[in-house]
Amino acid sequence: MFVEEIKSVWQGQKTKGYWIFLILSICLASFTLIDQKEKPVIYIIGDSTVQNSDGNGRNAYWGWGSLIYPYFDTSRISIRNHAKSGTSTRTFILDGRWDRIMGALKKGDFVIMQFGHNDHAGVDDTVRQKGSLLGIGDSTREIISIRTHQPETVHTYGWYLKKFITEAQRKGATPIVCSLVPRNRWDHGRVVIEAHYPKWAEQVARANGAYYINLNRIIAAHWLSLGRDSVNHFFPGDGTHTNIKGAKLNAACVVEGLRSLDGCPIQKYMKP
């Protein structure tokens, strides 16, 4: 009888221990899921100068979005680079990329955007149709899309930027607009500054309460201090796509711009 009682107590202790272990495991898993759920995310959107060939360095080309991670405390914030080669403000939406971000975007997140290099392309050509209309107004053009073979209303560069900004804000996220990076073009010893797209990006950002970084001018200033010969080494194939050294400089310039934004909450996640 005594032996049976000991066995009964032991079995009871084992059962009790099992349930304690199970409850603690569930609590720990719940805390982990809550932490992951509440962890803010930086979504980066843009073209090949932001992420080239899915960030794998193919053809020695790199975008700055692939090299910005070391500047942030990724134990406290996640970074997801959704930039894609060849995209414009228009095609980033048409291809469903923006909808996928909107499905996950939440309060406290950030959206850093940089477009312009492909927005100047053809609007209704028979090959790509990736361009947007010039300017920031409400002008539209009706075309037949080569993607869907259905009517499409094409808007201005500024209209699409405003869509990114306002929809991110409605989700409680913070939009940060960057001007397009400069191309490796010089005139009489000076970097050629893009005339229109940085101005349009700034106008739309200011008008809609978004932060703005004139990345074109920040990078151009660094290039000028380095000199044209040094800058030429950043471009292995053309004057638009940088190698890893050029992309590292561009990433550092983005961070320089982020640090200069007055009161931007993204700064608390940046490393000193």
pLDDT digits 0-9 by tens, 118-154: 999 999 988 889 999 999 999 999 999 998 899 999 9
pTM assigned to the model: 0.84
Each residue's pLDDT tens digit, 170-190: 999 999 999 999 999 999 999
Taking the C-alpha atoms of residue 134 and residue 141, their distance in angstroms, rounded to an integer, is 11
Q: Alpha-carbon distance 223 to 211, whole Å?
A: 24
Secondary structure (3-state) at 271: coil
Other C-beta atoms closer than 10 Å to the C-beta of 251 total 21
pLDDT of 162:
98
Angle (CA) 133-85-189 rounded to 5° is 75
- Count of alpha carbons within 13 angstroms of residue 127, beta-carbon side: 4
Q: What is the b/e burial string over 199-224, where b = at least 16 CB atoms within 10 angstroms of the residue's CB?
A: ebbbebbeebebbbbbbbbbbbebbe
How wide is the angle at C-alpha 226 spanned by C-alphas 221 and 230, nearest 5°? 130
Q: What is the pLDDT of residues 25-38, one digit of tens each?
A: 544 444 444 444 68
Asked if 209 and 164 touch (Cβ cutoff 8 Å), the reply is no
**Which phi and psi angles does 213 have, rounded to 5°?**
-125, 120
